[in-house]
Amino acid sequence: MKKSELKIMQIHASEMDNFSYLIYCQETLRGAAIDPSMRPELLLKEIDNRGIKLDLLLNTHGHADHIAGNAVILEHTGAKLAAHPVDITNPDIVLAEGTRLELGKGIIDVMHTPGHTPGSVIFKFDHQIVTGDTLFVSRCGRADLPGSDVVALYDSLQRLKKLPEDTVVYPGHDYGPTATSTIGWELKNNDYFKCPDLQSFTKLRLEG
């Protein structure tokens, strides 16, 4: 099997256990930062250390704990901001279901996964997904916030359950027993994934 050109780095980036990510093409060193959170300097340090040219700043959704560092990253790198316009007004690149982003010799695919927020997206490349606050290790995002929609979140999670079991999950917060997992692990261990129907999911998510 061909080795992936895209590499991902996980960065613990706030007192709220946020994760930022840096994805880059190992051959061309073109990069994309995801959710700078409150510690954008940590991303900038990795970008500098590795000699990466940052093409894109991606946001999984519009909550402040994920996007607080956007301005610092944009100012220091000249990257283009890519996000779903329902969550982030006037991004440089509008993301939607099926958007494909070129990064060096790799491709990042966008899934629109509303529920936690209406503009939540997941970034997918090879067998890896960056899930923001839609899916955490052993949990899922809240559905009781302004703009949340528990039915949409259930539907989004059903789509993720159909991904190959070896798909690696990179969540938006460090809330689980491990920093990453796989779809196969979540199918066995995540109570929200295991809900057999919308009714049981709604009860667990909103009342559990």
Interface ranges with Fe ion (CB under 5 A): 63, 133
For residue 192, CA distances in Å to 121, 132, 157, 197 come to: 19, 16, 9, 10
Q: How far is the CB of 121 from Fe ion (least distance, A)?
A: 12
Closer to Fe ion by Cβ: residue 31 or 132? 132
Q: Which is nearer to Fe ion, 126 or 133 (CB)?
A: 133
Q: What is the closest distance, in whole angstroms, from the C-beta atom of residue 12 to Fe ion in the complex?
A: 17
Beta strands in the chain (DSSP E): 6-12, 19-25, 30-34, 53-58, 80-83, 93-94, 100-103, 106-112, 121-125, 128-132, 135-136, 139-140, 168-171, 181-182
CA distances from 143 to 20, 29, 153 (A): 22, 37, 7
Closer to Fe ion by Cβ: residue 88 or 103: 88
Query: What is the nearest approach in angstroms of Fe ion to the Cβ of residue 170?
Result: 15
- Shortest Cβ 91–Fe ion spacing (Å): 17
**Nearer Cβ to Fe ion, position 134 or 190?**
134
